[in-house]
Structure 1
Amino acid sequence: MNKLLEAEVIDSKVFETLLSRDNVKTFQMYPRFEGCNINTYIGFKHVMYLSEEAVIQYYREHGVIPRRLYEDHGICFDLVDHNIRILHGLKLDDLVDIEVQPKKTENKEMVFAFRMFVDRDGKKIKAATGTIAVMFKQHDGVTDFEQAPDFVQPFIVSKLDRTGRFQAPREPLFDPSAGRGEVNPDDSLISQVYKPEDNVFVWKWHIPYIYCHYTKFMQMSGYVRIMEEVADLFWADRGISIYTYLDTRQWIPVVPSAKITMLQDAIMEETIYTVFRMDYIFRESTYTHIMDCYVERDGNLVHVATGEISHGYAKNVSRKEWKLVTFDDVTMDALNNVNKK
């Protein structure tokens, strides 16, 4: 049996140590082979996965085992906020040092800072930094589990509700004709949160079970996957094929930063609207999108997550290296949606 699961779950003194800012731990991990998207470079999604796993491992090493929390006490271990800045690209087979340090506890959230380091030509360089927030949530279907330890109680919430700390919904405008998938000009729900006239792309679908955990709840990694996919759909909607750019120019999208904040629970198979809004373009070399996710409930849209992601385009210089490029007129027109009907 797993030695972690044999131990008593959560010692109170260990839990105090877990939250101490003086307690910094370093973990070594390899990126997943699946994340090798650009030659041997690792895509942003799997860089975020690395930081998630490091924070989860930090808890495990202090006796806080996500499996035990759920099976013994009906508590869901939830990552509810993830903010990352990628400074240098990670590659396949990189052994990454990931430092995890408690940052603060606030509003029943435990926030951790992380830093990633990787060896380049014999030097240790900083590859990424960011923060992750963790919450413990009582599963709404649990009735027969033991009472959680007293020292865990201050961090348990009955449901996810972080909306009071964020301005929502956002206020960009929306042209229904720019929709995709099931969205069409007659979709009245989306008009609750966006008005006509601006640079917004909307993707409407259903939350699949493969993006959920603890039986039915949408999890952080699901939103990371949505963020990656909606960016791909956005470019297709604007008439630009990522493959064509790669085949004719050797250009590929790269991500220097991303962040996602969960606001409320979203449930498996709910209808979800992913709204992707152009925020700004910086020096014709990077651009930032705002992503907002809403679910349909009782004829209304409920804001369940928000985030932003920055992109640039890099040109393939060799099998080992890429170089950031300046956008041309075709790319700028697509980003600004100047050909919108």
Structure 2
Amino acid sequence: MSTSTTAPDGTTRLEIRPRYEGSNICTWIGFKHVNYMVEEAVYDHLRQRGFPAGRLYERHGLGVDITDIDTKIKTAFHIDDLATATVRPAPAKGDGLRFLVEMTVERGGETVKAVVSKVAVQLRLDPRGHFAQEPPTELAEHVVDRLGAGGEPVRVEPGADPLDRLTAGRNAFGWAWRMPYFYCHFTERVQMSGYLRQMEEIVDLFLEDRGVSIKTLLDEQDWIPVVPHSRITILDEARMEETLYTVFTVENVFKRFTYTARMDSYVLRDGVLVPTATGRITHGWAVIENRRDWSLVDFDDRLLDALNGKEGKTAGRGTA
């Protein structure tokens, strides 16, 4: 059971454990589930401040949407860790409520900082034809009729493949998939956790396409990917059962040690690809030393060539 407290200055603290689902390799927790912990800390903060997400929607027709999450992982979580998440209001940037989330964990009898995350939250008005009370005065300025700040649309010629258009001439991989209901919330909109799942999966598909799948390097070299930094920003709304066209583009390989890639997601409407989210993720690789420990390794030639190679390769999955 998690416990939470509120300080006089409005800072909240939550004791939280990672979910078992995120313990995919040995007992380490993947970046997606670390971000899930950040999300839960933010929702708990709002709850402690008197604005639980359920009541905001049921009473005021407001969907609490995380629209930007920028997370740096400094220390890996293990499945049985008990983390302390501290959430503080942060200066506004004109894109909703802003929060700084820090998580600590005990290591060898000492408290160490494990995660630092910057989060934006928008309150999406969604009465869906039913009566809704006026928003709480304290939150009124953060209410929006549509999520995101918008992005640059891409026109597609009739009959052209959207993924060919988005990946042409780039060191990129494309994937199209129909958005299922379980990636959505507040009835029809793809939520931040859905984009986190999208980011995790397109990395997996990209590596397989380049011949260096996670299973291949695990079997042959005992290597696993690790993520020190990820960020996703929602630019517009994607809806349930729309096809999401997602492109993963390698941007930079740093000294055989890490690589950074960009994720861009679009929906096709009236011949125009509308950007709905953008993000970046940084990956390194580590060798498994034992059931608990790993250490970072330099990329070998095979991995380096795969990251820098095969420009413009695309693949599809599901309903495109």
Corresponding residue number in structure 2 for 1:189: 162
Instruction: Give the CA deviation at 1:154.
Output: 1.5
Instruction: Give the CA deviation at 1:65.
Output: 1.1
- In the TM superposition, what are the counterparts of 1:289-308 in structure 2 within 5 Å? 289-308=261-280
TM-aligned CA distance change 1:312 to 1:159, over 3 Å? same
Asked if the contact 2:172/2:312 (under 8 Å) is kept, the reply is no
**Secondary structure of residue in 2 paired with 1:88:** coil
Is residue 231 from structure 1 mapped to residue 218 from structure 2 by the alignment? no
**Secondary structure of residue in 2 paired with 1:151:** helix
Instruction: Give the CA deviation at 1:140.
Output: 5.8
Post-superposition CA distance 1:60-98 (Å, at most 9, x none)? 011101111111111111110000000010111100011
Instruction: Give the CA deviation at 1:142.
Output: 3.5
Once residues 169 and 230 of structure 1 are traced to their aligned partners in structure 2, the CA distance between those partners, rounded to angstroms, is 21
Instruction: Give the CA deviation at 1:146.
Output: 2.2
> In the alignment, which of 36, 61, 71 is matched to residue 84 of structure 1?
71
Corresponding residue number in structure 2 for 1:201: 173
Once residues 197 and 327 of structure 1 are traced to their aligned partners in structure 2, the CA distance between those partners, rounded to angstroms, is 25
**Secondary structure of residue in 2 paired with 1:315:** strand
Corresponding residue number in structure 1 for 2:85: 98
Instruction: Give the CA deviation at 1:190.
Output: 4.2
Instruction: Give the CA deviation at 1:247.
Output: 1.2
Once residues 108 and 200 of structure 1 are traced to their aligned partners in structure 2, the CA distance between those partners, rounded to angstroms, is 29
Give the count of matched residue pairs.
304
Instruction: Give the CA deviation at 1:38.
Output: 2.0
> In the alignment, which of 225, 238, 247 is matched to residue 253 of structure 1?
225
Once residues 127 and 205 of structure 1 are traced to their aligned partners in structure 2, the CA distance between those partners, rounded to angstroms, is 33
Instruction: Give the CA deviation at 1:150.
Output: 3.3
Q: Structure 2: any 5+ residue segments left out of the alignment?
A: 1-5, 314-320
- In the TM superposition, what are the counterparts of 1:1-341 in structure 2 within 5 Å? 22-107=9-94, 109-139=96-126, 141-163=128-150, 168=152, 187-190=160-163, 194=166, 196-338=168-310
Once residues 109 and 167 of structure 2 are traced to their aligned partners in structure 1, the CA distance between those partners, rounded to angstroms, is 54
Once residues 128 and 103 of structure 2 are traced to their aligned partners in structure 1, the CA distance between those partners, rounded to angstroms, is 38
Once residues 226 and 149 of structure 1 are traced to their aligned partners in structure 2, the CA distance between those partners, rounded to angstroms, is 33
Instruction: Give the CA deviation at 1:26.
Output: 1.6
Q: Structure 1: any 5+ residue segments left out of the alignment?
A: 1-16, 171-185
Instruction: Give the CA deviation at 1:99.
Output: 0.9
TM-aligned CA distance change 1:146 to 1:95, over 3 Å? same
Once residues 225 and 294 of structure 1 are traced to their aligned partners in structure 2, the CA distance between those partners, rounded to angstroms, is 15
TM-aligned CA distance change 1:48 to 1:161, over 3 Å? closer
- Range that drifts further, 97-106 or 229-238: 97-106
Instruction: Give the CA deviation at 1:149.
Output: 3.0
Instruction: Give the CA deviation at 1:338.
Output: 5.0
Identity %: 42
Asked if the contact 1:45/1:228 (under 8 Å) is kept, the reply is yes
**Secondary structure of residue in 1 paired with 2:45:** helix
User: What's the TM-score once normalised by structure 1's chain length?
Assistant: 0.84
Instruction: Give the CA deviation at 1:151.
Output: 3.3
Asked if the contact 1:140/1:158 (under 8 Å) is kept, the reply is no
- Structure with more relative contact order (C-alpha pairs < 8 Å, separation 6 or more): 2
Asked if the contact 2:153/2:273 (under 8 Å) is kept, the reply is no
Instruction: Give the CA deviation at 1:283.
Output: 1.2
Post-superposition CA distance 1:261-283 (Å, at most 9, x none)? 00111100111110000010111
Asked if the contact 1:83/1:131 (under 8 Å) is kept, the reply is yes
Indicate the RMSD between aligned Cα atoms, in angstroms: 2.1
Asked if the contact 1:190/1:301 (under 8 Å) is kept, the reply is no
